[in-house]
Amino acid sequence: MKKTAATILLALALTGCSAGGLLAPSGAPPKIYTLSAPKEVASSAPQASWQLLIAMPAAVNNLNTTRIGIIPAPSRMDYYADVTWADRPPAMLQELLLQSFDRSGRIAAVQRQSGGLKSDFLLTTEIENFEVDNAAAEPAAHIRVSARLVRSRDRAIIATRNFEATIPSGNSFDGAIAAFDNGLQSMLPQFVDWTLTQGSQHP
């Protein structure tokens, strides 16, 4: 969810790390942020008559948290204070993928793996990066997700791909949230196109 400076009650400078390495908390209740899927997902992939399950994405421990990560220096992970994601990034990504496939209108059925749908394919993902990189020459939100498409009838991995977006975020917290949102707006339609194309080519 994008928020302008007028609506964000707390703006945190990316350069404001405390001596202890964490952005110092103010004691105020945390502000909660979410991210959005594209409202429309245009795809040139073939119309899919098959069904897809989306597994809960995996993530390393320092990303499998509602805390919003920042890299202030190489090989060091910190977190913003007084702000959180609405859910852990794996759960957010699963929901955004579901919405994106549904909004494409190009697949017969798509559901969470836990939903009990009998599927033709399973999409598994792992979040490798989901943080603001303030150690780079230009601060940027960095999102990297590896994906595997598995054919259900024989459990064969029919395709793999890495999806990545690096979006300049500037030196403000609202810029960082906007960069995450813009990165996913670009990345999610690529997931849809790739999955539908690969599934249609490997029935």
Q: What pLDDT tens digit does each residue of the chain (203 aa) get?
A: 433 333 332 333 333 333 223 455 556 788 999 999 999 998 889 999 999 999 999 999 999 999 999 999 998 999 999 999 999 999 999 999 999 999 999 999 999 998 777 899 999 999 999 999 999 889 999 999 999 999 999 999 999 999 999 999 998 899 999 999 999 999 999 999 999 999 999 98
pTM here is 0.85
Domain membership flag for residue 92 = yes
Residue 22 belongs to a domain: no
Distance CA 65, CA 168 (A): 23
pLDDT of residue 19: 28
Is 164 within a domain? Answer: yes
Whole-number pLDDT of residue 4: 35
Domain hosting residue 126, numbered range: 47-201
Would you say residue 30 lies in a domain?
no
Q: What is the pLDDT of residue 13?
A: 35
**Strand pairing report for 140-151 and 121-133:** antiparallel
Domain count, the chain: 1
33 in any annotated domain: no
Is the distance from CB of 28 to CB of 80 less than 8 angstroms?
Answer: no
In a domain, 38, yes or no: no
The verdict on residue 134 lying in a domain is: yes
Rounded Cα–Cα distance for residues 196 and 97 (Å) = 13
CATH number at 146 reads: 3.40.50.10610
Length of the chain: 203
Q: Which residues contact 14 (CB under 8 A, 6 or more apart)?
A: 70, 72, 132, 134, 139, 169, 171, 172, 173, 176
Whether 26 is covered by a domain: the verdict is: no
